[in-house]
Amino acid sequence: MAELSANDIAHMMDLSCVQANSTLEEIKNAAETAKKYNCICVFALPAHTPVLVELLKDRPDILVGGTVGFPDGGATTASKVQETKELVAMGVNEVDMVINIAWLKAGEDELVVNDIKNVIIAAQGLPVKVILECHYLTEEEIVRACGICIDAGVSFVKTGTGWAPTGATLENVKLIADSVGDNCKVKAAGGVRDRDTLLAMYKLGATRFGVGVRTAESILTGESAPDSY
């Protein structure tokens, strides 16, 4: 496998301002950082998405991501659909939705796949990434969730929101990648805090990475900068 340049890594990196206390100033900083390093996408919570769209309107090569069902996935399907439609109208290019964790753990697979399919329909052809929030799932549940995501037709399966105590690990990235095969792609988020970890996850099959701004800069420049995401 050829060595990845900083630019290659940036093109797989989603900058995330999706915490409850992510400020508008931090969102502005994320947009500027994405422009500086040519990151592929920036995410904010729905109330701040119009600000992000405005900040990135001069850089159509940088995508705007929308979040659906954050952070717990427990909203009704109708609510997730409405949120998705609103985000599409705002001008997002991708949608990251949280799976209904409780339904998944209860074995309500039909409800889970219906939840995802309806968001995909509402996304009107935009890529939809489904967040499993692996911290709360067993290995069996992760594998079953991947099968549900494949059946629903998702673009990516994603490890976590960044809100749970843990997110992406080498073990769950490999498990997801092995489970989805060539049916969809893998996004690692929550715990990708240094270049070595990112590269190890890339080798295991992840091709997109959700990171905070300070983490992104430290990965791309090689400087140490702790981040909560």
How many angstroms separate the CA atoms of 215 and 56, rounded? 20
Nearest Cα residue to 26 out of 13, 36, 17: 17
85 a catalytic residue: no
The answer to whether the beta carbons of residues 34 and 56 sit under 8 Å apart is: yes
Nearest Cα residue to 175 out of 197, 195, 201: 201
Catalytic residue among 14, 115, 129, 158: 158
158 a catalytic residue: yes
Q: If 0-12 CB within 10 Å is exposed, 13-18 middle and 19+ buried, where does residue 120 land?
A: buried
Catalytic residue among 14, 80, 96, 129: 96
58 a catalytic residue: no
Nearest Cα residue to 215 out of 61, 72, 10: 10
The answer to whether the beta carbons of residues 200 and 170 sit under 8 Å apart is: yes
In the structure encoding, which two tokens stand for residue 188, read together?
A: 């690692």
Alpha helices, H only, the chain: 6-10, 24-37, 49-55, 77-90, 101-105, 109-122, 139-152, 170-180, 195-204, 213-221
Which amino acids are annotated catalytic?
A: 96, 158, 187
